[in-house]
Amino acid sequence: MVDEKKKLIIIDSNSIIHRTYHALPPLTTKKGEKVSAVYGFLLVFFKVIKEFQPDFIAATFDFPAPTFRHKKFKEYKAKRPPAPEELYQQIPKVKEVLKAFNVPIFEKEGFEADDIIGTIAKAAPKKQAIPPIETIILSGDLDTLQLVNEKTKVYTLRKGVKDIVFYDKIEVEKKYGILPNQLLDFKALRGDPSDNIPGVTGIGEKTAIELIKEFGSLENLYKELEDSSQKTKKLKPKLREILLKYKEQAFFSKALAKIEKDVPVDFNLKKCQWEKKYNRKRITQILKRLEFQTLIKRLPELTKSKQNGKIKKVNVDQPRSKINLQQDRQKTLF
């Protein structure tokens, strides 16, 4: 049976670029241009279009400037090593290809791509009521899982570009033991080392999950603690002491980790419509310049009619250590 829902793909572009850059071997054109991140991004892009046959596509990017989170907390993401310059140099090439495919690009100073994703995911269902729209977030990490609900799913690269997972509410609960809307409370307690979000000092993943299961939310936990209710007597005195000591830090961490959903961006769903009649000549010229001959051959895949919309987990082969673009010895991963 054909899926009657309209599908919107929102691409978390920076995370896909970073993931594929580190997953693939170095790729260089005859002129010496580094293109591995561009190639990897397009592999995933082609894969998603073939898999989902979307009606709409939007691409989001991080704006290269401090965000409101950095202003609140100067140590935000401070422990992350800077990405290689050759990775950043490939981002304009990715944008060039997306524009050639008529995919709108969204970025906003002061915000991260996740915030724009949250904003679009919130707005899209209001702009497409009948038939209903399903939003699928394509990402290279799990930060957007807090956005998962009946209308929003996450399709993420779990290990490099080899292992892809489709997360709905059921899969999120299987992985964490809590619901998507409780992941923010989990981060408030556990913190997020990758973003340098502190959480509650001394609280690990297991304890954080147990607390969220027991009390439902951070607010409920502290309400019970401060009211000295019967439930909190089950907590060990040391744990109670830690939670009360770091209450302010917990709520501050929750605010940092929360994805904003009201970023002032000019989102028009109609302008995100996936055009199967894109400028094939222009795209071919760009791919030839980048020496992606294999991808040129795969362009017809992007114009095929909708299938049954089934989601499949995909395993792909690890590429060889070097790929000779000049002789077109690329190995398609999907």
pLDDT at res. 3:
55
Residues 153-197 pLDDT 10s: 999 987 766 678 999 999 999 999 999 999 999 999 999 998 999
Kindly state whether residue 328 falls inside one of the protein's structural domains. Answer: no
Shared domain for 243 and 296, answered yes or no, is no
Shared domain for 61 and 204, answered yes or no, is no
- The stretch 224-251 carries a mean pLDDT of 83
- The stretch 264-279 carries a mean pLDDT of 88
| Residue 223 belongs to domain spanning | 180-257
- The stretch 185-212 carries a mean pLDDT of 95
Q: Tell me how far apart the alpha carbons of residues 285 and 96 are, in angstroms, rounded to a whole number.
A: 12
- The stretch 137-149 carries a mean pLDDT of 95
Kindly state whether residue 14 falls inside one of the protein's structural domains. Answer: yes
The distance in angstroms from the start CA to the end CA of the chain is: 25
Kindly state whether residue 222 falls inside one of the protein's structural domains. Answer: yes
Kindly state whether residue 100 falls inside one of the protein's structural domains. Answer: yes
pLDDT at res. 143:
94
Shared domain for 162 and 68, answered yes or no, is yes
Collapse the DSSP code of 15 into the 3-class scheme (helix H, G, I; strand E, B; otherwise coil) and give the result.
helix
Shared domain for 101 and 232, answered yes or no, is no
Query: Looking at the 3D structure of the chain, how many domains does it have?
Result: 2
Give the largest Cα separation in the chain, rounded. 72
CATH number at residue 272: 3.40.50.1010
Q: Tell me how far apart the alpha carbons of residues 36 and 75 are, in angstroms, rounded to a whole number.
A: 31
pLDDT at res. 233:
59
Q: Which one has a higher pLDDT value, 277 or 49?
A: 49
Shared domain for 51 and 192, answered yes or no, is no
Kindly state whether residue 60 falls inside one of the protein's structural domains. Answer: yes
Segment among 5-14, 76-85, 284-293 with least mean pLDDT: 76-85
E strand residue ranges, 41-91: 56-60
CATH number at residue 251: 1.10.150.20
Q: Tally Cβ neighbours within 10 Å of residue 220.
A: 15
Which residues is 6 bridged to in the sheet? 133
Collapse the DSSP code of 273 into the 3-class scheme (helix H, G, I; strand E, B; otherwise coil) and give the result.
strand
Kindly state whether residue 315 falls inside one of the protein's structural domains. Answer: no
- Residues 6 or more apart whose Cβ sits within 8 Å of residue 232: 224, 225, 240
With tokens 């409920």, the residue in question is 220
Per-residue pLDDT for 207 more than 70? yes
Q: Tell me how far apart the alpha carbons of residues 176 and 114 are, in angstroms, rounded to a whole number.
A: 20
Q: Is residue 140 a contact partner of residue 156, using CB atoms and an 8 Å limit? A: yes
Per-residue pLDDT for 234 more than 90? no
**What percent of the chain clears pLDDT 70, i.e. is strictly above it?**
86
- The stretch 30-49 carries a mean pLDDT of 94
- The type of residue at 153 is K
H or E stretch covering 185: helix 183-190
Shared domain for 17 and 141, answered yes or no, is yes
pLDDT at res. 317:
33
Q: Tell me how far apart the alpha carbons of residues 25 and 111 are, in angstroms, rounded to a whole number.
A: 31
Kindly state whether residue 87 falls inside one of the protein's structural domains. Answer: yes
pLDDT at res. 4:
79
Shared domain for 174 and 214, answered yes or no, is no
Shared domain for 208 and 288, answered yes or no, is no
Shared domain for 187 and 62, answered yes or no, is no
Residues 282-333 pLDDT 10s: 999 999 999 999 999 999 888 766 554 444 443 333 333 344 454 443 444 4
Q: Tell me how far apart the alpha carbons of residues 112 and 260 are, in angstroms, rounded to a whole number.
A: 9
**Final residue of a domain: which of 224, 257, 290?**
257
Shared domain for 289 and 144, answered yes or no, is yes
Kindly state whether residue 318 falls inside one of the protein's structural domains. Answer: no
Shared domain for 25 and 156, answered yes or no, is yes
Shared domain for 210 and 287, answered yes or no, is no
Q: Tell me how far apart the alpha carbons of residues 249 and 253 are, in angstroms, rounded to a whole number.
A: 6
Q: Tell me how far apart the alpha carbons of residues 186 and 184 are, in angstroms, rounded to a whole number.
A: 5
Q: Tally Cβ neighbours within 10 Å of residue 205.
A: 12
- The stretch 30-35 carries a mean pLDDT of 94
Mean pLDDT of the chain: 87
pTM of the model: 0.89
Per-residue pLDDT for 277 more than 80? no
Per-residue pLDDT for 214 more than 50? yes
The encoded tokens of residue 88 equal 């950043």
- The stretch 43-56 carries a mean pLDDT of 93
- The stretch 263-278 carries a mean pLDDT of 89
